[in-house]
Amino acid sequence: MSGSFHRTVLAVAFAFALALVAGPWPGAVSHAQAQQPVDAAATILSVEPGENAQERLQEALILVPEGGTVRLAPGRYELTSGLSLDVPGVTIEGAGMGRTILSFSHQEVGGEGLLVTSNDVTLKDFAVEDTKGDAIKAKGVKNIRFIRLRTEWTGGPKPTNGSYGLYPVESENVLIDGCVAIGASDAGIYVGQSRHIIVRHSRARRNVAGIEIENSFFADVHDNLATHNTGGILIFDLPNLPQQGGHDIRVFDNRIINNDQPNFAPRGNIVANVPKGTGLMIMANRRVEVFGNVLRGNGSADVLVISYPFDHDDAHYRPHPSAIFIHDNDFAAPLFAPEGALADILRDRLGDEGANIVFDGVMPFRDALFGRSPEEGLMVVEPKGVAFANLRLLWDRLLPWGVAVDRDVTRYHGSGRMNPPIAPVVLPNDPGSAATGGEEPAE
């Protein structure tokens, strides 16, 4: 049975059942209207808040033709079940992230607020609040755009909050532009196991991780504000996942400041190990370039570069970072007040003198024994006065007498360039900048 035939049968049954139970309602889209011959690309199905909003909105997401638009009027939509969209080429648009609000504070059914499983979808100008699980998830899609959206758990940071705000996974050509993410117990903006990604002009605050790129290829993260999270921006690669070996990621022109939120991730989550006061954390990725960022007020470290610190049984996994280039960023004096999982290690190795850039010094034993160039490992070219520390944890643990921390950043200057350069990400579905209008509620 074809997908389109199955969807048509489902739409007829769904609309008929609703008509029997609920009768007509203002602004509803009847099945008969949807069957009229129209230009699908110009079809707009409008939905308003109020009685039966759950049924009317899900019906619109089923009936909307390929290339059509579901338009959400201003107001607050009280929803009790997760929503789903599997029609390609659809735009879901509201009247603004502060005006069109999908509230799931009484959600009873569903693992997320909105699940998208179709290609060429645009989501813009609305908010999703207080979901039981993830706010907006897109899985296995191409050409997905998140524009001027807000996701928020309005009760403040709690481990019972949903894990992710914006959550595209296993996807290609991902654009996140002008969005706001608040209160996620894992990551406010998360892109995982995906390729060709842009995250820009967005704001993440009061999450465990503000922005996280995980097990992904070719990403540009720029012109964002990550503040008052546990960790501002995380670039992670983890074992035992279908896609691993994250690479070719640029983090630039962001403000990563005052990330001071105590970690509230549920026990057992990988981000539960992120120390409070982490600005940017790079773990086990290769070919990552960090430049033009403003980093300050992060009490553990502004930039933390580490290997995957746990045992694993994945023979194909590469747990050590390589080809990391950090240059031309704007740092203030280190604010050294570490808390959380790595606090004891940082205090033990650094004493009372913190550093802007901290490298754990863990690498393959062959590289530690015979050496490697900065271009192959970690290359740092920053203005004089930026504090650097290689903790040298590998040798400190191997040698019973220990070793001193290496604070001489000149050893890591290298050639001062990435070779070959990391190319900018260009997306076929990029309409140009859609910077946020600043509508989100005040903190």
Per the listing, tokens 């403000």 go with 255
Determine the Cα angle at 151 with ends 74 and 258, to 5°: 130
Q: Is the pLDDT of residue 389 over 60?
A: yes
Given a cut of 70, whether residue 20 has pLDDT beyond it is no
Looking at per-residue pLDDT, the higher value among 41 and 173 belongs to: 173
**pLDDT over 60 at 15, yes or no:** no
pTM above 0.85, yes or no: yes
The pLDDT assigned to 111 comes to: 85
Contact (CB, 8 A) for 90 and 57: no
pLDDT band at 27 (very low <50, low <70, confident <90, very high): very low
Question: Where residue 367 falls among pLDDT bands split at 50, 70, 90?
Answer: confident
Average pLDDT over residues 414-437: 86
Lowest-confidence region among 221-225, 371-375, 419-423: 371-375
Q: Is 362 exposed, middle or buried (0-12, 13-18, 19+ CB in 10 A)?
A: buried
The string of pLDDT tens digits covering residues 271-298 is 999 999 999 999 999 999 999 999 999 9
Segment 35-67, tens digit of pLDDT: 334 454 459 999 999 999 999 999 999 999 999
Query: Would you tell me the crossing angle of helices 3-22 and 53-63 to the nearest 10 degrees?
Result: 150
Q: How far apart are CA 189 and CA 367, in angstroms?
A: 34
Residue 8: predicted pLDDT: 41
Amino acid code (one letter) for 395: W
pLDDT digits (tens, 9 = 90+) for 129-168: 999 999 999 999 999 999 999 999 999 999 999 999 999 9
Q: How far is CA 257 from CA 1, 171, 377, 385, 437, in A?
A: 53, 29, 26, 19, 21
Angle at 267 between CA 266 and CA 273, to 5 degrees: 100
Q: What percent of the chain has pLDDT over 90?
A: 78
